[in-house]
């Protein structure tokens, strides 16, 4: 692989900046918004490759994911946070704490809203209340403009702009990259002079095992519905390089009920095979290695409401 994945904990910067260069700009930018507004899609577009999983289901992102953008004279570290929402269980509470804490640890906040909504909803107003006391510079990013007529852009942006005090408003299509270069230029201009926090060949702080687990969860999000995809956690075992060059990846999918397990396995194992096949292809494309993915499904009742289970799956606040 040309780019490197980090080994420190998710969402953590190195203890010491890599270097200081005269006139060099650097800093951290938070991507926040309601679940499913396109934060992970925007992060992947900003970095230029896939580092965060995407789905049309809410609450796809569960932890903070750092994406590092290196350009001449600047390094922008994007923090993709879980969507801010009213939590229904301990996992949801963890996700919201992570998102809120991020607001005080960055140089700029990018608040994503959806152009197809055309006006703020209850979820947007809830976030506006959370942001009211945040003094960090905020940019309003109106996403998914590819889904509305251009003649409506200004009116939609004006309605959302009333929700807060923004240093700028940008209209983008994260999926197709429209407006993204202009957004990056504005962000770099807002960053202070500072050090290079990460090496130039690092694109994310996510360990490879975490990325592999997320790629499996992404396929479950795509292929299942109702409560099943939200009740899933994935744990990667000991990854081994085989003599034939293939990488052996053992993975266990945890669900909360036996019925969910049956759905994931499917008739004659068809669903599990489809999940494994598609996840394996994603892993091979991202990591540049041939993968043997060994999938298992186990039941851990009500794990989303058990602190011990959350910690064992890596959902920690610190």
State the pLDDT at residue 232: 87
Whether 194 and 216 map to the same domain: the answer is no
Tell whether 14 and 96 lie within a shared domain.
yes
Q: Kindly state whether residue 84 falls inside one of the protein's structural domains.
A: yes
CATH number at residue 46: 3.40.50.300
Asked if the structure places residue 317 within a domain, the reply is no
Number of domains making up the chain = 2
pLDDT value for 9: 39
Same domain, 43 and 113: yes
For strands 138-143 and 108-114, give the pairing: parallel
pLDDT computed for residue 249 by the predictor: 95
Q: Are 135 and 267 found together in one domain?
A: no
Residue 194 covered by a domain: yes
H/E stretch holding 227: none
Of 151, 170, 203, at which residue does a domain stop?
Answer: 203
Q: Is 270 inside any structural domain?
A: yes
Alpha carbon distance 231, 248 (integer Å): 26
Task: Decide if 149 is inside a domain.
Answer: yes
Please tell me whether residues 126 and 111 are part of one structural domain: yes
- Residue 250 within any structural domain of the chain: yes
For residues 141 and 152, give the distance between their C-alpha atoms in angstroms, rounded to a whole number: 15
My answer on whether 27 and 173 are in the same domain is yes
Q: How would you class 28 by CB atoms within 10 Å of its CB: exposed for 0-12, middle for 13-18, buried for 19 or more? A: buried
**Residue after which a domain boundary falls, among 203, 223, 246:** 203
Could you tell me if residue 230 is inside a domain? yes
CA distances from 96 to 35, 80, 87, 92, 103 (A): 11, 12, 7, 6, 11
Whether residues 68 and 19 fall in one domain: yes
Same domain? For 62 and 184 the reply is: yes
Which one, of 235, 214, 228, lies nearest residue 282 by Cα?
A: 214
Instruction: Write out the DSSP string of 254-306.
Output: EESSHHHHHHHH-GGGHHHHHHHHHHHHHHHHHH-S-EEEEEEEEE-TTGGG-
In this structure, is residue 318 part of a structural domain? no
Average pLDDT for runs of 10 along the chain of length 318: 43 50 89 87 89 52 72 91 55 60 83 95 90 91 97 97 96 97 97 91 81 88 82 90 92 93 94 96 85 94 77 60
Asked whether the whole model's pTM tops 0.85, one would answer no
Q: Is residue 147 a contact partner of residue 172, using CB atoms and an 8 Å limit?
A: no
Residues found in the chain: 318
- Name the DSSP class of 88: S
CATH number at residue 260: 3.30.300.20
Helix (H) or strand (E) holding 169: strand 168-171
pLDDT, position 145: 98
Lookup: tokens for 15: 């203890």
One domain, residues 79 and 163: yes
Give Cβ neighbours of residue 198 (< 8 Å, ≥ 6 apart). Answer: 6, 13, 14, 18, 68, 75, 77, 205
Q: Which helix (H) or strand (E) holds 61?
A: none
Please give the Cα distance from 19 to 196 (Å, whole number): 5
In angstroms, the CA 61 to CA 53 distance is 7
Rounded Cα–Cα distance for residues 232 and 253 (Å): 7
Domain boundary among 171, 203, 235: 203
Based on the fold, state whether residues 80 and 211 are members of the same structural domain. no
Assigned token pair, 139: 């940019």
Residue 58 Cα distances to 17, 62, 82, angstroms: 35, 10, 10
Gap between the Cα atoms of 110 and 166, Å rounded: 10
The whole domain housing 152 covers 4-203
Tell me: do 151 and 230 sit in the same domain.
Answer: no
DSSP class of residue 174 equals T
Same domain, 273 and 166: no
């Amino acid at each position: 692989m040309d780019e490197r994945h980090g080994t420190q904990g998710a969402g953590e910067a190195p203890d010491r900046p890599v270097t200081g260069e005269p006139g060099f700009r650097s800093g951290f930018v938070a991507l926040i918004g309601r679940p499913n507004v396109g934060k992970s899609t925007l992060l992947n577009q900003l970095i230029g490759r896939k580092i965060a999983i995407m789905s049309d289901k809410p609450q796809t992102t569960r932890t903070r994911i750092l994406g590092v953008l290196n350009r001449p004279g600047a390094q922008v570290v994007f923090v993709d946070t879980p969507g801010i929402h009213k939590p229904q269980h301990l996992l949801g509470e963890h996700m919201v704490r992570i998102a809120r804490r991020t607001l005080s640890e960055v140089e700029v906040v990018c608040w994503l809203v959806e152009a197809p909504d055309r006006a703020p909803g209850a979820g947007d107003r809830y976030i506006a209340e959370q942001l009211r006391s945040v003094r960090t510079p905020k940019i309003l990013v109106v996403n998914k403009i590819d889904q509305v007529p251009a003649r409506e852009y200004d009116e939609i942006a004006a309605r959302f702009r009333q929700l807060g005090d923004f240093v700028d408003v940008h209209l983008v299509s994260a999926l197709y990259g429209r407006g993204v270069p202009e957004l990056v230029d504005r962000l770099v201009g807002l960053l202070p002079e500072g050090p290079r926090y990460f090496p130039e060949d690092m694109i994310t702080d996510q360990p490879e095992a975490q990325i592999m687990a997320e790629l499996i969860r992404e396929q479950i999000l795509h292929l299942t519905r109702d409560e099943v995809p939200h009740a899933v956690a994935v744990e990667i075992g000991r990854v081994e390089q085989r003599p034939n060059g293939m990488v052996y990846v053992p993975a266990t999918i945890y669900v909360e009920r036996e019925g969910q397990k049956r759905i994931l396995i499917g008739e004659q194992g068809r669903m599990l095979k489809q999940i494994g096949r598609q996840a394996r292809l994603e892993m091979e494309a991202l990591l540049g290695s041939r993968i043997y993915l060994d999938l298992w499904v186990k039941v851990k009742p009500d794990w989303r409401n058990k602190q011990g289970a959350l910690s064992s799956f890596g959902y920690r606040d610190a």
